[in-house]
Amino acid sequence: MIWVTWRQHRAQILVTAGLLALLGLLLLGSAVEAGRYVAEHAPPGCPGTDATCGDLAAALDRRYDAVYSLFGWMPLVAPALVGAFWGVPLLGREYERGTHRLAWTQSVSVRRWLAVKLSVLGATAVAGGLLLSLMVSLWRPVFRVGADSTFGNIGVFNMVGVQPAVWWLYAFALGVAAGSLTRRTLPAMALVVAGVTVTMFTLFRLSVHYAEPARVELSGTVVLEDPDARLVSAAWVEPSGREVTEPSVGGCPRGVDVGQSDRNARAWQACLFGEGYRYAVYYHPPSRFWRFQWTEAGILTLASLALGGLAVRRARRD
Amino acid sequence: MRAALEATGLGVRRRRTWVLRECSLSVPAGRVAALVGPNGAGKTTLMHTAVGLLRPTEGNVRVAGEVAFVAQDKPLYDTFTVAETLTFGRRTNTRWDDAVADRLTGLGIPPRRKVGTLSGGQRAQVAVTLALARRPDLLVLDEPLANLDPLARHDVMRSIMAETADRELTVLLSSHVVSDLEETCDWLVVLNGGRLQVSGDIEELLDDHLVLTGPVEASAAGARVVGESRTGRQVSMLVRGTPPQDPRWRARRPGLEELVMGYLRSPEAAALPRPAGVGA
């Protein structure tokens, strides 16, 4: 059965491996080049958070962005491709071509056929996702010293830790289930793309509830110092301690900003702070990185098992 | 006489309609059974339940020993080479006979050719070989001769028959072309509109029936009439058992096709062994 699985799905596996290798080379090249640049141009004490490191940080940012723009869409596109080309054909293509009547009438039972294919390909998808995560995790620190964005930026968050692995697994299971439902490859592929997109959006909205948000009261500024935090909500706190969304203070004129300037808004905020107002921010600190990683991994793994179970049930029913 | 295939009260419902109903039949081991009936009669459904692709809604079907199946249109993996297709068979089956698989080379089918590029006849040979190499006790073939030219039909049929001659292999093959089956089959199963009409030994069935022709006025009293057709003042009928007394009838033994057509035209008629006879 392992031979059958390899023979039927080797094209997808090899193409995926090739693309990962290509991405690996790109990341390696970019990291080596950046490392060389730092060695030649870095002032003493840099890279770091020192004020003299600004130029270097900007140069590294430009290099980072050039590569990131190439694969920044990976958190969405990679799972969609895995679902469409690994998951969908597993059952969808068999039904479409009628070859399930060949495959499932040999001595190997349907249960075994599905168990081997789902576990082998599922494990390979997880391995591929982990490899992607590893490569990205090794590459990013070359450019990012001090402040990082693995938690606050959902796109980056989905590319590190265990996220790529569970997303690939989920998309694979979604593809298998879609293929068994539609029994056609093309509609199932469309379903997978839609499903992955909707799931990613839903989980993004849901993720603020993974933990009770932390609360901090700011005075003098409305900007949270930690750039990697995930903001949940914010409110003004009256001098009495009551939280309001709209402060009702007559003494502070609220001018209208024109164009890119936020001078009037700042003046209004400064006036409120002068009146004794504080600004409460609800947020998730980056220290919750792994808690969020594992929560999302749990949700996606359970969903994958449910989708896999659905596909197995449908395949064995008739 | 051991039964190679035995169905009892078999029924399959798809949504609200029954595609197969109250089907009880038994095919003795070593027979080559023809499953005939018009399109939509339930032939494929019966076969799919026998090979385990479909779970019956009611009743059950039992198969003695290993069963191999060649589905309609001979599904194969088009991107596999012929050799890889045989490897697929070897890897997914507990019983596998390489000597049988080697017959493809004798048929001039190159092992490195992609299955998708084979001719219809060659594809059929690969599909049949894949099934035969499993050394099955029962071989089920759904429309194995459809879409083949006469030469290929002959070759495929010869391949199957060569295998049945060597050992006790029971074959159940379906077709809606009766003439394909006349020379090779010795057991007949007729399905019509999801119901079983005929099941029995072909020679016994033919011995047991008569085609009568005579004037319209001739009396058919005392005969079990399966069906009749009129052309002008002449009437022709298929009867079972003893012929009627009226001397104006001329009687002869029916051909297989006449027998089948007689029953298919009269869906309410049936020639089935008594329940006690099933599996006897």
What is the ipTM metric for this complex?
A: 0.89
Q: What average pLDDT does the segment B182-189 reach?
A: 90
- Listed as ranges, residues in chain A with pLDDT below 70 are 47-49, 145-147, 249-250, 317-318
Mean pLDDT of B143-152: 89
Does residue A26 sit in the same domain as residue A49?
A: yes
Residue A35: its pLDDT value, please?
86
A104 close contact with B: CB closer than 8 A: yes
Domain check: are A74 and A154 in the same one? yes
Does A235 lie in the same domain as A198? no
Query: Are A164 and A153 contained in the same domain?
Result: yes
A27-42 pLDDT, tens per residue? Answer: 999 999 888 888 888 7
Cβ separation B77–A3 shorter than 8 A? no
Considering the segment(s) B3-201 as one domain, its CATH architecture is 3-Layer(aba) Sandwich (3.40)
Q: Does B73 touch chain A (CB under 8 A)?
A: yes
pLDDT tens-digit readout, B249-267 = 999 999 999 999 999 998 8
For B53, the closest of A99, A105, A107 (CB atoms) is A105
- Cα A211 to Cα A157, A160, A286, A302: the distances in Å are 16, 20, 12, 19
Categorize the per-residue pLDDT at B279 as very low, low, confident or very high, splitting at 50, 70 and 90.
very low
Q: What H or E segment, with its residue span, contains residue B188?
A: strand B187-192
pLDDT tens profile B99-124 = 888 889 888 899 999 999 999 999 99
Q: Say whether both A252 and A310 belong to one domain.
A: no
A47 versus B37: the higher-pLDDT residue is B37
> What pLDDT does A146 receive?
58
pLDDT of residue A249: 66
Measured from the Cβ of residue A107, the count of other Cβ atoms closer than 10 Å reads 15
- What pLDDT was estimated at residue B276? 45
In whole numbers, what is the pLDDT of chain B averaged over residues?
90
Pairwise CA distance, residues A167 & A155, whole Å: 13
Judge if A229 and A296 occupy the same domain: no
Whether residue A100 sits in one domain with residue A228 = no
Query: Other CB atoms closer than 10 Å to residue A220's CB: what's the count?
Result: 10
The domain limits of chain B are 3-201, 204-268
Chain A residues closer than 8 Å to B91 by CB: 1, 3-4
Task: Please name every residue paired with A236 in a beta bridge, in sequence order, or none if there are none.
Answer: A244, A279
Domain identity same for A100 and A230: no
Instruction: Give the residue from chain B lying closest to A318, CA to CA.
Output: B54
Q: Looking at the structure, tell me whether residues A122 and A205 fall in a common domain.
A: yes
Q: Taking residues B61-85, report their average pLDDT.
A: 94
Please compute the mean of the pLDDT values over residues B198-207 and round it to a whole number.
93
Look at residue A77 in the predicted model and tell me its pLDDT.
93
Average pLDDT over residues B58-82: 94
Contact B34, B187 (CB under 8 A): yes
Neighbour-count burial of B173, counting CB atoms closer than 10 A to its CB (0-12 exposed, 13-18 middle, 19+ buried): buried
Q: Which residues of chain B neighbour A90 with C-beta distances below 8 Å?
A: none
Q: What share of chain B is helix, strand, coil (3-state, %, to 5)?
A: 30, 30, 40
Task: Judge whether B71 is closer than 8 Å to chain A, CB to CB.
Answer: yes
CB contact under 8 A, A99 and B77: yes
**Is the same domain home to A155 and A282?**
no
Distance CA B155, CA B109 (A): 13
Task: Report pLDDT for A250.
Answer: 66
Structural domain boundaries, residue A234: 214-286
- Residues written for chain B: 280
B280 pLDDT more than 50: no
Work out the average pLDDT over B162-186: 86
Is any Cβ of chain B less than 8 angstroms from the Cβ of A97? yes
The answer to whether residue B116 neighbours chain A at the CB level (below 8 Å) is: no
Cis peptide before A253 (omega within 30 of 0): no
Scan residues 222-261 of B and list those with Cβ closer than 8 Å to A: none
Closest-CA residue to A196 (of A173, A225, A215): A173
Q: In what order do the strands lie in the sheet with B58-63?
A: B17-28, B3-14, B58-63
Contact of B46 with chain A, judged by CB distance below 8 Å, is answered with no
Total domains in chain A come to 2
- Specify the pLDDT at position B241: 87
In DSSP terms, B250 is beta-bridged to: B213
**Are the beta carbons of B130 and B98 closer than 8 angstroms?**
no
Q: Are residues A262 and A296 in the same domain?
A: no
Q: Is B94 near chain A, with CB under 8 Å?
A: yes
> With an 8 Å Cβ cutoff, are A102 and B73 in contact?
no
Indicate if A202 and A307 belong to the same structural domain.
Answer: yes
In the predicted model, is pLDDT for residue B176 greater than 70? Answer: yes
